[in-house]
Structure 1
Amino acid sequence: MSYSPSIYKFVEGSDAPVALDMEVVRAVLIPYDVGDPDRTRTEDGSLQYWVRAEDGSEAEIFVDQTGILVERPHSGPGVFAIVAELAARLTAVILDPSRGTFFCGPEAHAHLPADMRKEAVLIDMTGEAVEAALIGPPLP
């Protein structure tokens, strides 16, 4: 099953996501990138990374001007910690595509449009919390 959460940034209650700070995106992802560095930037200017966390969990990550797609993240708090760090440093929200639910920290929550603010779920931006919110707590 393919599962792809997304990350978006909103400001001042606007309904549309805003441009991401690509310097922050690169700063977070480059240390974990195990893909071909020559293929990081695509012809259309978007970025793609294949990241591997210290615990061995991986994901393909695609970045365009206003969104980040996390394709097929492996279970494990490591890759979800990378997702959490991206969201926290960008002051962004994580969209669970299976439920249409936004997860975010309090800083990002304050910038959501009013209707989204009512529906969004506040969580700690840690690997464990993001993994639990998106796929449920790890099995014992």
Structure 2
Amino acid sequence: MSWSPLIYKFVDGGEVPVPLDMALVRAVLEPHHVEDPQLTVAEDGTLQFWIRASDGSEAELFAHENGILVSRPQADGVFGIIAELVSRLGAVIIDPSEGGVVCRAEEHAHLPAGMRDDAIVIEMTGEAVETALTGPRRP
């Protein structure tokens, strides 16, 4: 895939995303990071991860305190890692190509009012995230 979903956290309907728990981001992603751990922090402080799921699927993630860019997520297992991260952060996923929001019921009420009506509320699993963002798989 060539699109890049975004992960943000909103609180109490605020229009501006709130800072993420970067220690939690590291805790979830570091076990799946395939590069030298010394290379995870860029000069500007952005955390960079190249993650790989047990099935071999991969994605690059660029995290700063207000959001995470998921670059080129491949199908299958990597979406499980993304779902875990989003769930543990209490965050949402935004598909910039469609402008849609994917979230759990717990985060729906925290979205800005303008995002609530079109949000896709799911159980935050890898399969559900992948289906919500890419559509159902064809046999």
Gaps of 5+ in 2: none
Q: Which residue of 1 aligns with 2:66?
A: 66
Runs of 4+ in 1 over 2 A off after TM superposition: none
Kindly indicate whether the alpha-carbon contact (under 8 Å) linking 2:120 and 2:132 is maintained by their aligned counterparts in 1.
no
2:90 paired residue number: 91
Task: Give the distance between the partners of 1:34 and 1:102, measured in 2 at CA.
Answer: 29
- TM-score normalized by structure 1? 0.95
Aligned counterparts of 2:61 and 2:119: Cα–Cα separation in 1: 23
Report the residue type matching 1:21 in the other structure: D
Q: Output one character per residue of 1:72-121: Cα deviation in whole Å (capped at 9) or x when no partner.
A: 01111x10011111111111110112110000001111211222112211
> Percent identity of the aligned residues?
62
Counterparts of 1:108 and 1:26 in 2: how far apart (Å)?
21
- 1:124 matched residue in structure 2: 123
Unaligned ranges ≥5, structure 1: none
For 1:61 and 1:35, how far apart are their aligned partners in 2? 12
Aligned residue-pair number = 139
* C-alpha distance in 2 between matches for 1:93 and 1:59: 18
Q: Determine helix, strand or coil for the equivalent of 2:49.
A: strand
TM-score (norm 2): 0.96
Query: Structure 2: how far apart are the matches of 1:130 and 1:54?
Result: 18
